[in-house]
Amino acid sequence: MNYAVHLEPGEGGDYTATCPELGLTTHGLGAACALDALRDEIRYRLELCPCTSVDEDFVKLDVQGP
């Protein structure tokens, strides 16, 4: 599944990644960290129960921003 993501730099080298479609926002000390956290959060939300899992490559982020 593809999700549009807005990536914005903050102060001190931190980044904010936002997925408006799902109403999720994550923060990280770098762009990759913020995007990884968002991808993990989306995968967590997509899982139906603890016994199911969503593959690593199931969530694709279409990053808009720097």
Whole-model pTM over 0.75: yes
Identify any residues that bridge with 62 across adjacent strands, giving them in sequence order.
Answer: 4
Q: What is the CATH number of the domain that holds 41?
A: 3.30.160
Of the candidates 49, 6, 47, the residue with the CA atom closest to the CA atom of residue 24: 6
Total domains, the chain: 1
Of the candidates 50, 55, 63, the residue with the CA atom closest to the CA atom of residue 8: 63
pLDDT in tens, 30-54: 999 999 999 989 888 877 666 666 5
Q: Is residue 58's pLDDT more than 90?
A: no
